[in-house]
Structure 1
């Protein structure tokens, strides 16, 4: 069989496997796999360095399917290449409970999947993060011809990804940063769920990308492997700009009744149409999920070439390690355990108690800079708010097109892309990333924070200006419901510290976390050091000022700036003969993981008189307040005025907290 014939048969294997799996599941999206199979095949076989036998090879090229609904394209490739022994049976269980082939690709679930993609455009943002990580690590580690970090990031998406605002945010930054090893495939088929894209999307995408600073390349025929290959090589040849390769395809290609129609996008082809697809493609086998042996052999030869590429790299890395032992030691710190960081976290110096009132955002900035001294792979920045978020790392340089070694990122006013890029940097490996903005703008961050939690990527979110304490900026900038929103996320820790000790605990928990992202919710205004604060903050909730009684008369519960209010209210209550316990609750999420015995020791069931004090929404406090308790929380969206006046106006005074407690 000549090269052209085996290539054609191998492309059609992707199409037929995809159609079979979607039909058996009676659910899925056949349009993208059928149309994009040629570009995916050309890339994966002849241009992309990857080794199915070692999916974690550090210098592999990355591929992200941003149009995650077309997941069968990716699963078919992974099966044909032999990733993780993904079998034909696994393909036949597409979209079934506990299968290795879920509806959208899931990181850590299916071997070879680089990122969880589902929300359109998210993969585009994460790809930018991966390309940033590659360029930063290359600047740190590559020496005198030893390019131990040298790979490309490829991402594939369609019209929907291009419509979503996150892609424009992310690619605007990618162009500014001149990420020459980022290559974007645009599967342009002019079809979306509702019909022709002309009903809502008529812009010239290539002109937009030119404005971003991309090289733009157009492939007129999505079935022309030679033209696609030339486009990839042209993209790789320009290392000064990221590249957009627009590939014009027909959605549902090969299925006579569906090709080029919106109905091909998101529903099975139908039994008769799958048969017609086979006939039209001249597929030689009738049995579902059956692939000719010569196709498997073809993919195997490319897989072997990938293994050879890794072996070449392994030899290069051995030579590099011998010639630059200090760099090898640093490499191991980036990719493994950091003994110096462990020493810092174990030291009394780290757990310094504040001596004067200070905003937790300021304390956080100081802690961040202490951590950076012993954690060289820490990288991150803010959405144009570093001076306010206190997230600049002194003396660490700014990452830019001119200086890839800088550790301070400038994301610009692009919150959703920033969070996706942070995920991408973490997914790449070797780096520990954080992102930052005002807490109220976590509304923009949340969709990508949700993906962090789903993927088990421990990205750190620094979110300052945490309450009505923002003051004069008014309701648009005063977060109310955002704390409840983030607390509602599974596998996501939300810390709202009250002072230095608790802020140190928050950073400790964030950096030590292996599979859980963390939000640090920080004050703008100064907060007094709390005499009772301790490392027990690492338990999420603890007694910060106790009652003399085994079962207190009332329990006052608070976080952040309101802990001081609760402590002052306890003193007022004592004057009326009421013995209160004050519980600081910096992280409900971690408190919920403690033993029942510990939780009972902090919040004894025998005490039903409880008051939650927090200058945000009361949503989420109910499980601790109970039916007999009360709240001193926000009911509206705040107001514009000096912070001190706002706290008094909305009832956040020790006197009001004490009166609410007495009313119980």
Structure 2
């Protein structure tokens, strides 16, 4: 029986390798070599270690598998199909084709069993840190004696390219600091990238680097040695106080006589001639493609069905848990389904009118602390900027090795890793994560923000210090192009509130959204709290733009702005009215939300009959032309700022009431 077991395992692994080569060849694009090299470790994981249920890919206590080197995704698709997920052999044949379930890199929400969208190298590794954080936090909150609900692990595979990316270093450092012993990374050390041998650009000792990060490091010298692979994984599972790295030396394109261990096996099909040699090497019929022997399919399907029993045991455990801890069980069911508790919005503070006002970052901090108790799923922090971004939850611990229940996160000066970890946390059902930094540093987070928008998941980004109004820190810290850059990301909702009450409403919108991320853009400087009894109510923010202050007659001109500049155009309206010019003031905190309104509402706010319009915003003018029309004007930043007190900068760049009035009169041709 032992011999038969070895034979079936060898045949199973070789089937995966040939499937990968066939799929890439049929697609005429893709990355066969890495999938062929990693088939043995994937086999060991799926058959001997990972807990999963192919018939319920969202089972709460499943182990998470993340393929960070997502270009090798045909490997993952093959394993998902073979173990019984909702994929067919025809899906493998449609690899990289239009509308298929098997795209060129793994996509969350498209392919059953894919935990997170990966492909941009390093992202999956950093996502894994977020997943590991999520498991630790859920366990601390919900596990009770006799009820170990959440004890799953995070298995990540990454390659040389992942290891070169800076985000991996940031995330590995964070994981070591947090002692995330539930994370196991298998490093495919094949020494090959697109340009050739990694010696061209990458000769460091990765193992020593990770040891310095406080990781447990092992090396397996032969990627085909199943017992050694299994022993390394078993040892890693036993190491609970540190994350684990298994350095696995593989041969890219294993089985390809002429392309093994070459760049030619990395990013293109092997070619029909070489593919025949591969099949010959593994003992497959050279004239047939996509062959899955029945004994192999049965072997993998049997491995997949084991998870059904494990899930049933978990469901029975959770049923008993609900009897003993009904409150916690109900809480988890609510938040894990994407819901929010009834009446939570009543906790949102209402701010009294105040000409001196407050910074919207400070208002945001008050909102967070007001709602924290009602929303225990809300967790987050900043990239070493919590005091400056006002994102500390005052009555709660910081998350660390001693306090897994902590809700404040110290991501360190690692914006890129923070953004990527937030995605893993957001994909942990039961958590609502937020992360904060200065708006200018959103640039460091661009890749994970884009991926969150693609995946339609809901991290909340808190970006403060939103304009030249931050003052003396100067050009390098004053954002100009960042607002339009964020607005250009499909499915990201950007909200720049005009005062404290709009900030509270912005959080309401952000937390109610469940189909994509939200970026809150907040001020460092104090701005007036607008009198809602006199002007429009801040809940108009949910529509993206609303009439804040109506003209005394049919408007001659529309003044529109977001954020701190709204107070500026309100004052300009008053002075224009004194001169007999009727001006409507529009607060426009979110282009994306406004764009979702029906045409009747958009016409109500911005009637076509009023062609004279002036937009005011301390950012790039790009995009505003859609709203001001060809007869309007935009007062914005066309250059970078300077280091100076904010008041001096406003005068220098024209963000004064006098200049708004002058620009409005120029549009109306009034002297």
Partners of 2:340 and 2:288 in 1: CA distance: 56
Query: Which residue of structure 2 lines up, in the alignment, with residue 428 of structure 1?
Result: 428
Partners of 2:344 and 2:105 in 1: CA distance: 41
CA contact (8 A) 1:338 1:375 kept: no
Q: Secondary structure at the residue paired with 1:391? A: coil
Structure-to-structure mapping, 1:310-389, within 5 angstroms:
310-336=311-337, 340=341, 342-345=342-345, 347=346, 350-355=349-354, 357-389=357-389
Partners of 2:16 and 2:504 in 1: CA distance: 51
Deviations 1:492-527 (Å, cap 9, x if unpaired)? 100000112211111011100011100000000111
Partners of 1:348 and 1:393 in 2: CA distance: 15
Structure 1 residue 54: deviation in Å? 1.0
Partners of 1:544 and 1:145 in 2: CA distance: 56
Q: Secondary structure at the residue paired with 2:528? A: coil
Structure-to-structure mapping, 1:275-286, within 5 angstroms:
275-283=276-284, 286=287
CA contact (8 A) 1:501 1:533 kept: no
Residue 590 of structure 2 is aligned to residue 607 of structure 1: no
Q: Secondary structure at the residue paired with 1:634? A: coil
Partners of 1:309 and 1:254 in 2: CA distance: 36
CA contact (8 A) 1:494 1:519 kept: yes
Backbone CA RMSD of aligned residues:
1.3
Query: Which residue of structure 2 lines up, in the alignment, with residue 252 of structure 1?
Result: 253
Residue 633 of structure 2 is aligned to residue 593 of structure 1: no
Query: Which residue of structure 1 lines up, in the alignment, with residue 55 of structure 2?
Result: 53
Deviations 1:88-118 (Å, cap 9, x if unpaired)? 1111111111110111110001110000001
Instruction: Provide the TM-score with structure 2 as the length reference.
Output: 0.97
Query: Which residue of structure 2 lines up, in the alignment, with residue 30 of structure 1?
Result: 32
Structure 1 residue 348: deviation in Å? 8.4
Structure 1 residue 316: deviation in Å? 2.1
Cα distance change on mapping 1:254 and 1:338 into 2, 3 Å: closer
Residue 498 of structure 2 is aligned to residue 494 of structure 1: no
Query: Which residue of structure 1 lines up, in the alignment, with residue 228 of structure 2?
Result: 227
Structure-to-structure mapping, 1:450-529, within 5 angstroms:
450-529=450-529
Query: Which residue of structure 2 lines up, in the alignment, with residue 265 of structure 1?
Result: 266
Farther off after superposition, 109-118 or 603-612 = 603-612
Structure 2: give runs of 5+ residues left out of the alignment: none
Deviations 1:607-654 (Å, cap 9, x if unpaired)? 111111001111111101221211111111100011111111110001
Partners of 1:189 and 1:365 in 2: CA distance: 47
Q: Secondary structure at the residue paired with 1:404? A: coil
Structure 1 residue 354: deviation in Å? 4.5
Structure 1: give runs of 5+ residues left out of the alignment: none
Farther off after superposition, 540-549 or 473-482 = 540-549
Cα distance change on mapping 1:500 and 1:246 into 2, 3 Å: same
Partners of 1:283 and 1:353 in 2: CA distance: 76
Structure-to-structure mapping, 1:643-654, within 5 angstroms:
643-654=646-657
- Of 66, 90, 97, 2:68 maps to 66
Partners of 2:287 and 2:431 in 1: CA distance: 48
Partners of 2:653 and 2:99 in 1: CA distance: 49
Structure 1 residue 284: deviation in Å? 5.0
Partners of 1:35 and 1:348 in 2: CA distance: 55
Farther off after superposition, 568-577 or 139-148 = 568-577
Partners of 2:247 and 2:665 in 1: CA distance: 68
Structure-to-structure mapping, 1:622-641, within 5 angstroms:
622-641=625-644
Structure 1 residue 318: deviation in Å? 2.2
Residue 196 of structure 2 is aligned to residue 195 of structure 1: yes
Partners of 1:468 and 1:130 in 2: CA distance: 37
Query: Which residue of structure 1 lines up, in the alignment, with residue 645 of structure 2?
Result: 642
Deviations 1:126-152 (Å, cap 9, x if unpaired)? 000000010111111111132111010
Instruction: Provide the TM-score with structure 1 as the length reference.
Output: 0.98
Partners of 1:381 and 1:485 in 2: CA distance: 23
Partners of 2:144 and 2:361 in 1: CA distance: 38
Query: Which residue of structure 2 lines up, in the alignment, with residue 575 of structure 1?
Result: 578
Query: Which residue of structure 2 lines up, in the alignment, with residue 11 of structure 1?
Result: 13
Q: Secondary structure at the residue paired with 1:473? A: coil
Partners of 1:607 and 1:32 in 2: CA distance: 60
Partners of 2:339 and 2:90 in 1: CA distance: 42
Q: Secondary structure at the residue paired with 2:376? A: coil
